[in-house]
Amino acid sequence: MEGIKFMRQAKFTKPLTIALSPEVYNVLKEISDADRVSMAECVRGILSEMALPLLASENDKVEKSVSTKKRDDEND
């Protein structure tokens, strides 16, 4: 397989541009520099930590709704 190159698939495909206050930018820059990651990677990590619990609670609501609907259908 020598000489064959495989294209990498993009991991992140939804771009987002945001404006930050200088204070927030500076803190983010310090964190990303200390962790030796890009600022974008740092923001993705912070947002993931915040979003995952919210996603889990939304999934719980959907599962409860489906379970309730099944029981209601079975009782009819």
Query: Does residue 39 fall inside a structural domain?
Result: yes
Query: Does residue 65 fall inside a structural domain?
Result: no
How many structural domains is the chain composed of?
1
pLDDT score for 64: 63
Residues 6 or more apart whose CB falls under 8 angstroms from that of 37 comprise 45
Kindly report, residue by residue over 33-59, the tens digit of the pLDDT. Answer: 999 999 999 999 999 898 888 877 766
Using the predicted structure, report yes or no on whether residue 1 has a pLDDT greater than 60: no
Give the helix ranges, DSSP H, for 12-38. Answer: 22-35
pLDDT score for 37: 96
Report whether 39 contacts 29 (CB < 8 A): yes
Q: What is the pTM (predicted TM-score) of this model?
A: 0.58
Residue in 23, 20, 40, 42 with CA at minimum distance from that of residue 31: 42
Mean pLDDT value across residues 15-42: 96
46: containing domain: 24-50
Query: Does residue 60 fall inside a structural domain?
Result: no
Using the predicted structure, report yes or no on whether residue 8 has a pLDDT greater than 90: no
Residue in 72, 20, 8 with CA at minimum distance from that of residue 46: 20
Query: Does residue 44 fall inside a structural domain?
Result: yes
CA distance 15 to 71: 42
Query: Does residue 42 fall inside a structural domain?
Result: yes
Residue in 62, 11, 5 with CA at minimum distance from that of residue 38: 11
